[in-house]
Structure 1
Amino acid sequence: MTLDPHDLAHEFPALADKIHSLKTSNAHFHKLAERYEEINKETVQIEEGVRVADGAYLETLKKERLLLKDQIAAMLAG
C-alpha cells in the first residue's frame, strides 16, 4: 500500500525555504518541526507494519500530528 507523504516538505512544498529559515532562526518552530517529523515517522512505520501499535495509539499520533501541522502552518503564515 502506498501512503501519502505527510512530511513537511510535502505538506508545504512552496515554503521549503521559509521552513528552513524558521528552523534555524526560531527555537520554538524548530522544536515543533522536529516533533512533527518524529510523530510522522512513527505514524508511517505503524501504517506500513514496521511497528506494531493499536488503533487508538495510531489515532492519538495522527491527532497530535495534525495539531502540530496547524501550529506550523500558523507560524509559516505569520
Structure 2
Amino acid sequence: MMTTMNISLPEALKSFVDQQVAQHGYGTSSEYMRELIRKDQDRQHLRNLLLDGASSPATAPVDAAYFQELRDRVTSRAAL
C-alpha cells in the first residue's frame, strides 16, 4: 500500500524534476522521487558497511596470492 506525501518545490526545482522525468523515461515525478530515495537508502547502507569495515579488526593482506586462492577454490568446486 502506498501513502501520499505532498512536497513543495521552487519553480526551478520543479522544472528540473520535470526534465529528469522526460529525459530518463520515468512515468511520473513520483517515480523519479522514489528512485532518488532508493538511491539515497543504498548510499547510506553502503556508507554504514564501509564504516563497519573500517572499524573492524585488521585481517590478512588481500594480495595476488589471496585472489589466486579464491580462483583455485572456485575452480575446484566447479569441477565437482
Q: Same fold (TM over 0.5)?
A: no
Q: TM-score, normalization: structure 1? A: 0.34
Which of the two has greater helix per residue? 1
